[in-house]
Amino acid sequence: MALNVIMLGPPGAGKGTQAERYARVRGIPKISTGDMLRDAVRAGTEIGLRAKSIMDRGDLVSDDVMIGIVRERLARADARKGFVLDGFPRTVAQAAELDRLMAGRDPLLVIDIAVPDAELVRRLASRMICEDCGATADDSTEPEESASKVGRQAEVGRCGRCGGRLKQRADDNEQVVRERLRVYRRDTKPLVEYYRVRPTFRSINGAQSPDLVAAELASAIEAVGNGAGRQGGIRS
């Protein structure tokens, strides 16, 4: 059975970090709409220019743009053996469209990473990303590397993956962070209710160390994947 994983959770919950780690370990692609949009912004494409002002305000890019990006990506050969989706879907409308895109494929395994708002604001206000490759400071190291090394990277201001300069994202200042959380509660949190009724849904505790989150994530995916297999490959 292909491992088709959706990572849900508010901004700052660690979806990108955990998606990167899990995809690397399992040898499947991490599909991040945020990364694809930032690539478009850096390239100065039409969609990138449209998305930049929206992202800098902390708002969500329109469903039609996001669905088009994901449709094209899931059609590639490397996604047939499985994938980890980070940043999509973000609305119930996007989730319904993803269900249609997944027709005839193995089920979606949905993991919600739950973190209190106060912790999210603290994390996002101090988060650093690479201006060249877009990795966050903790994404740019291998899973076995220690938290102290991540801290040293931030101190020297260089990315451990490509050596680029680390900086704060424009949409990570406190005012924009609070707006992003408000938008999340309004538009994205209903996804938890949309998926909660499925046997392939699990919620995990994201307010712990990245290693503990990774272990809980792997256990949850194994549990829901085995359950889906025993039930004959439930379709999304």
- Whole-angstrom CA distances from 155 to 17, 135, 136 are 19, 16, 14
Catalytic residue, candidates 30, 90, 123, 202: 90
Q: Any catalytic annotation for residue 26? A: no
Is residue 234 within 8 Å of 103, Cβ to Cβ? Answer: no
Catalytic residue, candidates 30, 38, 123, 180: 180
Alpha-carbon 8 to chain mean position? 7
Give which of 111, 154, 162 is closest to 132, Cα–Cα.
162
Is residue 183 within 8 Å of 60, Cβ to Cβ? Answer: yes
* Amino acid symbol at 155: E
Cα–Cα distance, 127 to 142 (Å, whole number): 18
Q: Any catalytic annotation for residue 169? A: yes
Catalytic residue, candidates 30, 73, 123, 169: 169
Catalytic residue, candidates 30, 123, 127, 202: 127
Strand order in the sheet with 30-32: 30-32, 82-86, 3-8, 108-114, 201-205
Beta bridge partners of 30: 84
Q: Any catalytic annotation for residue 123? A: no
Q: Any catalytic annotation for residue 90? A: yes
Give which of 41, 21, 206 is closest to 117, Cα–Cα.
206
Cα–Cα distance, 182 to 52 (Å, whole number): 19
Catalytic residue, candidates 15, 21, 38, 73: 15
Q: Any catalytic annotation for residue 21? A: no
Active site residues: 15, 90, 127, 169, 180
